[in-house]
Amino acid sequence: MALASGSVVVSGSERSEDQPDRALRRGAGARGGDNPAHSAADVPAVEDLVRVVALDGPAGTGKTTVARLTAVRLGWRFVDTGATYRAVALAVLRAGADPEDATACEAAASAARVELRTDPDDSGICLDGADVSAEIRTPEVTAVVSAVSSHPGVRALLIRMQRRAIATSGAVVEGRDIATVVAPRAAVKVYLDARPEVRAARRAGEVAGSPEGVAGTLLARDARDNQTNRLEPSGGAVHLDTSDLSLDQVVAAVLALVAEAGLAKSAQ
């Protein structure tokens, strides 16, 4: 199976799809009303987003790592939707805008040029021509991403971006509303979960914090996110509790579902 990867400019005047060897494009990009991210012309129809593995769930369940490794095994695109929200949150901070101001956040999102690398072996994200894969994970961005992503205009823009990145050739996509909003026709839908203390311990390992401190942060973020984008399994989703499973076991379980759906006979 051919590797469905490369980079996708999901906002700005330049876009590249299915070009795994092309260097990242740089440039000023489009601004304001010229931004093609506002157009649905090149966004696949929801009905066509079928060759998709949708991984939803709260933070700390291993979604990102599981999605990336599954994409590697399948030779499919890896789409980290959370990274797109974080990139726009960073754009809001750089613009000096108020994360609670919907109009200001929507303007920052419209002006931003975001490039999502969908090759699972070289995933990452750029903002206005610079790689920000590490910067979007900082506490400053984490503190505002829920507020920025709560604005309907920002969400609508990013959902179009995400569908463009997913395309139709095969993608493993992780987020909170993939199977319910972004790609509801996905052939494989999995809701990853874990006990609160396990989620906290995992996230603490990522950010070098204490599980107790991280637990409070996770609960606060869950509450804020659920105000505007309630997290719940979609109809037909397989609920997978990862608390007592190794990473390899979780990936194997997802691949088994992919094989069961007839998407990849040799997924195992």
Buried b (16+ CB within 10 A) or exposed e, 169-197: bbbbbbbbbbbbbbbbebbbbbbbbbeee
Instruction: Report how many domains make up the chain.
Output: 1
Domain presence at residue 37: no
Question: What average pLDDT does the chain have?
Answer: 82
What is the per-residue pLDDT for 173? 98
Domain presence at residue 203: yes
Strand partners, 124: 117
Number of helices (H) and strands (E), helices first, in the chain? 8, 9
Dihedral of CA 63/65/67/73: which sign?
A: negative
What is the mean pLDDT of the segment spanning 163-185? 95
Domain presence at residue 156: yes
Here the CATH number for the domain that contains residue 184 is 3.40.50.300
Question: Which of the four pLDDT bands, split at 50, 70 and 90, describes residue 215?
Answer: low
Cβ-in-10-Å burial (0-12, 13-18, 19+) of 130 comes to exposed
Q: With CA atoms as reference, report the closest residue to 55 among 165, 161, 179.
A: 179
What is the mean pLDDT of the segment spanning 236-252? 95
Domain housing 122: 7-14+45-260
Whether the per-residue pLDDT at 27 is higher than 50: the answer is no
pLDDT in tens, 81-138: 999 999 999 999 999 999 999 999 999 999 999 999 999 999 999 999 999 999 999 9
Domain presence at residue 1: no
Helices 139-149 and 152-166 cross at an angle (nearest 10°) of 100
Domain presence at residue 151: yes
